[in-house]
Amino acid sequence: MIVTLSLVILTPIVMCICLSVKSSLLFESLPVGKIFFTSAWEPSKGNFGFLPFILSSIFITFLAVLIAGPVCLFSALYLTQYARVRLVRIMQPVIDILAGIPSVVYGVWGIIVIVPFVSNVVAPLFHIQTTGYTLIAGGIVLAVMITPFILNILIEILRTIPSELSEATLSLGATKWEVIKHVIVRKAKPGIVSAFGLGVSRAFGETIAVLMVAGNVAKIPGGLFDPVYPLPALIANNYGEMMSIPLYDSALMMAALILFVSILVFNFFSRISIYHLERNL
Amino acid sequence: MLHMTKEKIHIENLEVSIGKEHILKNINCTIPEKKITVILGPSGCGKTTLLKSMNRLTDLYSDVKINGKIELNGKNIYNGISDINDLRRKMGLLSQRPAPLPMNIFNNVAYGLKISGRRKKRYLRLRVEHYLKQANLWDEVKDRLYSPANSLSIGQQQRLCLARGLAVDPELILADEPTSSLDPISSQAIENRLMELKNHYTIIVVTHALRQARRIADYIIFLYLGEIIEQCEASEFFNNPKNEITKAYLRGSFN
Amino acid sequence: MKNSKYRKNEEKIFIMLMQASCGIILLIMGLILLTILRKGIPAFSWEILTSVPKGGFYFGGEGGILNAIIGSIYLAMGATFIALIISLPTALFLNVHLRKYRKLQNAIRLFIDILWGIPSVVYGSFAFTIMIYFGLRASLIAGILTVAVFIAPIMIRSMDETLKTVPLILYEAATSLGSTKFEISYKVFFKQCIPGMVTAILLSFGRAIGDAASVLFTTGFTDNIPKSLTQPAATLPLSIFFQLTSPIPEVRERAYAAALILTIIILLISITGRGISLRYMNNQIK
């Protein structure tokens, strides 16, 4: 038992060390500034500028959470504060099924529905011509994917808020919405922020679905209708050919390391904050 | 004695069930105005449910079914009430565990006033001071009105909740075992407050502590397994109980 | 009075917003399933389900994706099995032996929760690097191990959640009867939580069969059904991915059918898991 436990604990540490060692080769041959703050990505010439990928990842993640966040928050509030038992009984399996659908299926759905929708309906509204494989398409698909995840955490958090608190507030003559606005949301705020934080890390690391709809052009995106090329897609797309070019593997390990570390940090703070919230109730 | 005081709440044929469980059966009673009525009974007999059906907090739970009539000032609250928030505002609630709102001390008391549209700083300040004094908390908190309410001790929090409830100018105070989570000294402080407040408010206290009932009750409603066993003046209840179950309960045969 | 009207209207507007949000979620769910069904059913045939790719398959030729279906099932079963070997003792250890050490328990839970969030592509690329270091080629076993490492935290935490519900009394009773911690773990805790364990295993299996990024480099892709652990294997998510990016319409059609098959597998797992936990809950009350 101790063996398996230590195995579970050691694996990620070994992983982190391995990734660091591998990607350190890149630092030896290129200055840090050039790696993080330039956008020239020419592996065969030895130029590895991560900026477009990092920005792509940040933009698409931000967009996804921006779309999914309010929908999740409103639904979670409705399901925990207003909804009848029957609706909750319908929604729970729906959320579970959405959470279980594999990311490749979301990708298929994105290509069949969202990409043409962006290209034929949304973009013409702004007089833009595009294939549809864009930041906004990726953001929408990603938003749908992280929705069940965020929603589940939010519901769990909102259920821990003691009912005495809303009873007390109602007794002061508040409407139910005022209870939510002034008391429940305020009380659950650290938890809500953490749920979004976990959503961010989920979106940040999502690979296949994003790879399928985001367009994958290594350029700093200038708007919603530009293609993007997030870090996970970079890794997945180039793994096959990396062996033939020097330093290419280090660069991809570097991408993996960036993902690994930023997600660890995000998850760490979100989880800590949720633990504290649950303990203080 | 009873017929000399006005009746504040009148309950007729009240039946409450939660899910498949029949919690309250055929409840008929009256609550006299400006007295302390104690709803007494062993744990799990439906006391809290009875209290919460009076300000319709039972609405919050979708599997609660209610039949019968509860009249406040002669008007049925389950039929033809236009403003449920207003109804609840008329009844200040003091719960088992103090539930301070996630705001500072000042805003906890001012909240009820603010949502009903009174926002002038000077007015709020005067009112907050007034009600904190009524709840006997002013001297302890006047220097830290803007620190968070949950930095107070449990006993202080409960008095804060009392002040908060009073601030919306209710007609009734519903107290659901208000001292069960407090230490003896804080409990006494709350009890003393209630005794003083009964000149202005109709007070209903739910408790399973006989001694507390003896100390504060003017009128007793004794509940057992969802039915009213006896309801009468406190002195009569304690000195001259009529029902066998009441006698057994007073002897301490069950709790 | 004006104030109260304003407040009521505000509440109405926000209730509408909240209902709309729930509606959107239901709608999206319906839309996804409908799309997969509508595109998948016309493209579906017995041939797809029961044969492996034949010559020219990826240019619209004959054949099916049996290789990927079997490959995925092998992979997911293998990975779930290995993850189970790692997870069950860990989860039991966490709940039985570490019962006294609250702080350590919570620290480990926190650690595993954080691991849960690491994307599979990171596991995949890490595993690939190790394989290159040892000069190994993409194979079924490499995929199984990678996926096992990636689903283990999920399995541990969901087992942990059910084990947490075992009442303290049961633990104390077992101890006072003189059982060792090992006996308590397997005889009391494990038996008490079997339905929850099955749900945890199904959840992890669903994760294993649906993930593409971790198998992309480790398992490879082949048109044959793997005959040994050291051969590469095709998987459903990758088969969908590769066919969908094809310029030939017939090939893309087959991707839809494959997506339908994968979705049905996932739905079946989800429904089974739900059924078990519902039944379990009924038993608990009685």
pLDDT digits (tens, 9 = 90+) for A10-26: 888 888 888 888 778 77
Closest-CA residue of A relative to B101 is A183
Strands B64-72 and B7-18: antiparallel
Q: Give the type of residue at A75.
A: S
Dist CA C226 CA C235 (whole Å): 11
In a mutational test of the B interface, the residue from A160, A164, A171 whose CB has the highest number of chain B CBs within 10 Å is A171
Cβ contact B208:B43 at 8 Å: yes
Cβ contact B88:B77 at 8 Å: no
pLDDT higher than threshold 80 for residue A30: no
Tell which phi-psi region holds residue B99, choosing left (phi > 0), alpha (psi between -120 and 50) or beta: beta
* Per-residue confidence band for A147, with pLDDT thresholds at 50, 70 and 90: very high
**What is the complex's ipTM, to 2 decimals?**
0.86
CA dihedral (A23, A24, A30, A36) in degrees, to 10, reads 60
Closest C-alpha to B35, from B191, B226, B216, B245: B216
Each domain of chain A, given as residue ranges in start order, spans 2-280
Q: Residue A142 has what pLDDT?
A: 92
Dist CA B135 CA B157 (whole Å): 11
Mean of pLDDT values over C255-268: 87
Question: What DSSP assignment string belongs to A191-229?
Answer: HHHHHHHHHHHHHHH--HHHHHHSB---S---STTS-B-
Dist CA C33 CA C24 (whole Å): 14
Q: Residue C10 has what pLDDT?
A: 87
Mean of pLDDT values over C103-122: 84
H or E, element range at B52: helix B47-54
Closest-CA residue of C relative to B86 is C4
Residue A252 has its nearest CB partner, among C10, C93, C125, at: C125
**Interface contact flag, C4 B115, Cβ < 8 Å:** no
pLDDT higher than threshold 50 for residue C284: no
Neighbours of chain C (3+ CB pairs under 8 A): A, B
Closest-CA residue of B relative to C7 is B115
Closest C-alpha to B209, from B168, B160, B151, B250: B250
Each domain of chain B, given as residue ranges in start order, spans 2-90+170-251, 100-169
**Interface contact flag, A176 C126, Cβ < 8 Å:** no
**Interface contact flag, C4 B83, Cβ < 8 Å:** yes
**Collapsing DSSP states into helix, strand and coil, what is residue B44?**
coil
Of B143-147, C109-113, C149-153, C274-278, the poorest mean pLDDT is in C274-278
pLDDT higher than threshold 60 for residue C286: no
β-strand partners of B65: B17
Window 25-54 of A, Cβ < 8 Å to C? none
The share of chain A scoring above pLDDT 90, in percent, equals 14
The contacts of residue B121 (CB under 8 Å, 6+ apart) are: none
Closest-CA residue of A relative to B86 is A173
Dist CA B251 CA B245 (whole Å): 10
A183 contacts chain B (CB < 8 A): yes
Mean of pLDDT values over C211-233: 76
Closest C-alpha to C105, from C150, C158, C164: C164
The contacts of residue B248 (CB under 8 Å, 6+ apart) are: B254
Closest C-alpha to A202, from A271, A129, A254, A272: A271
How much is the mean pLDDT over chain A?
84
* Per-residue confidence band for C194, with pLDDT thresholds at 50, 70 and 90: confident
Cβ contact B23:B16 at 8 Å: yes
pLDDT higher than threshold 70 for residue C171: yes
**Tokens of residue B157, six digits:** 């929090």
pLDDT higher than threshold 80 for residue C174: no
* Per-residue confidence band for B1, with pLDDT thresholds at 50, 70 and 90: very low
Classify residue A263 by burial, with Cβ atoms within 10 Å: 0-12, 13-18, 19+.
Answer: buried
Closest C-alpha to A50, from A33, A37, A62, A59: A37
**Interface contact flag, A8 C112, Cβ < 8 Å:** yes
Dist CA C163 CA C156 (whole Å): 10
Q: Residue A146 has what pLDDT?
A: 92
* Per-residue confidence band for C56, with pLDDT thresholds at 50, 70 and 90: low
Q: Residue C20 has what pLDDT?
A: 93
Of B97-101, C246-250, C267-271, the poorest mean pLDDT is in C246-250
Classify residue B63 by burial, with Cβ atoms within 10 Å: 0-12, 13-18, 19+.
Answer: exposed
Return the axis-axis angle of helices A248-280 and A231-238, rounded to nearest 10°: 140
Q: Residue A228 has what pLDDT?
A: 83
**Tokens of residue C119, six digits:** 């994307």
β-strand partners of B16: B24, B66
Q: Residue A141 has what pLDDT?
A: 92
Cβ contact C216:C124 at 8 Å: yes
Q: Residue A42 has what pLDDT?
A: 73
Closest C-alpha to B53, from B76, B80, B82: B76
Closest C-alpha to C221, from C211, C208, C235, C240: C235
In a mutational test of the C interface, the residue from A207, A212, A213, A269 whose CB has the highest number of chain C CBs within 10 Å is A207
- Chain A residues touching B157 at Cβ < 8 A: none
Closest-CA residue of C relative to B83 is C4
- From B144's Cα to the closest Cα of chain C, the distance in A is 31
pLDDT digits (tens, 9 = 90+) for B185-205: 888 888 888 888 888 888 899
Mean of pLDDT values over C197-201: 85
- From C89's Cα to the closest Cα of chain A, the distance in A is 5
**Collapsing DSSP states into helix, strand and coil, what is residue A256?**
helix
pLDDT digits (tens, 9 = 90+) for A85-124: 888 888 888 888 888 888 889 988 998 888 888 888 888 8
- From B165's Cα to the closest Cα of chain C, the distance in A is 19
pLDDT higher than threshold 80 for residue C172: no
* Domain B2-90+170-251 = CATH 3.40.50.300: yes
How much is the mean pLDDT over chain C?
81
pLDDT higher than threshold 80 for residue C220: no
H or E, element range at C16: helix C2-43
- From C233's Cα to the closest Cα of chain A, the distance in A is 16
Q: CATH number for the A2-280 domain, one of 3.40.50.300, 1.10.287.3510, 1.10.3720.10, 3.40.250.10?
A: 1.10.3720.10
Strands A47-48 and A41-42: antiparallel
The share of chain B scoring above pLDDT 90, in percent, equals 0
Closest-CA residue of B relative to C2 is B117
* Domain C50-285 = CATH 3.40.50.261: no
Dist CA C76 CA C70 (whole Å): 10
pLDDT digits (tens, 9 = 90+) for B213-231: 888 888 888 888 888 888 8
**Collapsing DSSP states into helix, strand and coil, what is residue B246?**
helix
Neighbours of chain B (3+ CB pairs under 8 A): A, C
- Chain C residues touching A150 at Cβ < 8 A: none
pLDDT digits (tens, 9 = 90+) for C58-81: 666 667 778 788 888 888 888 899
The contacts of residue A215 (CB under 8 Å, 6+ apart) are: A131, A133, A134, A135, A137, A138, A226, A227, A228, A229
A71 contacts chain C (CB < 8 A): yes
pLDDT higher than threshold 80 for residue C232: no
pLDDT digits (tens, 9 = 90+) for B2-42: 455 778 888 888 888 888 888 888 888 888 888 888 888 88
- From B117's Cα to the closest Cα of chain C, the distance in A is 6
Burial B215-247 (b: 16+ CB within 10 A, else e): bbbbbbbbbbebebbbbbbbeebbeebeeebbe
**Interface contact flag, B115 A174, Cβ < 8 Å:** yes
Count CB atoms within 10 A of the CB of residue C182: 12
Cβ contact B203:B194 at 8 Å: yes
